[in-house]
Structure 1
């Protein structure tokens, strides 16, 4: 009986760890100045480069990364953020990984569950957009 209970608890704890899946895609270097539309999986989205624009985030969670997580190396991640008409992050597709899957998973999890941006308007109506974002992590 105790073995079954232990196995059940272990299974449930491991299934919770696997809830955040990182979606990796191959994308050539995006040129935000040459396009304002992006087609992903057959769906066209309005495209914005928000890498250098920190004032669009209404709430950006504090991503705490320790030197041990970075393995004492400079790491950067680039991804596409799918933002809905209310400003919530709905999905992230990573196209340049940090090289560490656990770190990628942590960043994606925090952003999809907590981040929020300003509402994007087109002709006075809120709309979905896809935005490019880059983050850099430097060990102390």
Structure 2
């Protein structure tokens, strides 16, 4: 589970692959024959084959730390206050000592968007596209005089 109580994609994928590798090994298939249809590298198949249990594989995936971990309470507070601007959030985190890049904050924000919004927040207004705006500011063509 991640910080939002959802199962991590990595955990779900690892669980599926482990089950498939173990089943096909029990059927007597070679590691190369297992890896091809699953599109897994031979070293990944070997790691899944040698693992004593699923928990052994998941220990690394579940217990991963993030460079954002110490800033999570602040990020969640700002998100629920209505600040969904990733560059602004990153700037605020930088002022608090964050050294990561904007992609790290962007990935977290993408996961956070799945959370329910607070009732006080209204949906964001989407501005018109640049073509439509451009037409508003271009004066109509003047007829040519012959």
Give the number of the structure whose residues are more often helix, by fraction.
2
More strand by percentage = 1
Structure ranking higher on relative contact order (CA contacts 8 Å, 6+ apart): 1
Q: Which has the larger radius of gyration?
A: 2
